């Protein structure tokens, strides 16, 4: 089973990387971009023994333990059958 974990800075947290992207796009002439934010996308390949609920619960723990810094970041989990 594939799982996608999107880890992104909380709205209230300044995102200099996103600002740099928006600035660079403006310099290149893409004036329609009002703002940009950059996050991480982690793709996990999960063993097939787990059902969706177990997998999601396990991934949530992984996020809390390792994948996200929950002081400044939020995350969302998307599961996809293999």
- Asked whether position 55 contacts its own copies by CB under 8 A, the answer is yes
**Which two three-digit tokens encode residue 65?**
């333990």
Give yes or no for a contact between 80 and 4, defined as CB atoms under 8 angstroms apart: yes
Residue span 26-45 as binding mask against its own copies, x where in contact by CB under 8 A, dash where not: --x-xxxxxxxxxxxxxxxx
Which position among 24, 57, 69, 70 is part of the footprint of its own copies (CB under 8 A)?
24
For the beta carbon of residue 42, count every other beta carbon within 10 angstroms.
17
* CA 46 from centre of chain: 17
User: Would you tell me which residues interact with its own copies (CB under 8 A)?
Assistant: 6, 8, 18, 21, 24-25, 28, 30-47, 49-50, 55, 58, 61-62, 65-67
């Amino acid at each position: 089973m594939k799982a996608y974990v999107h880890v992104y800075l909380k709205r209230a947290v300044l995102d200099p990387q996103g600002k740099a992207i928006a600035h660079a796009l403006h310099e290149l002439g893409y004036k329609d971009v009002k703002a940009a934010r950059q996050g991480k996308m982690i793709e996990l390949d999960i063993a097939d023994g787990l059902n969706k609920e177990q997998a999601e619960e396990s991934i949530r723990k992984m996020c809390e333990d390792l994948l996200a810094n929950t002081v400044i970041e939020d995350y969302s989990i998307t599961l996809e059958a293999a």
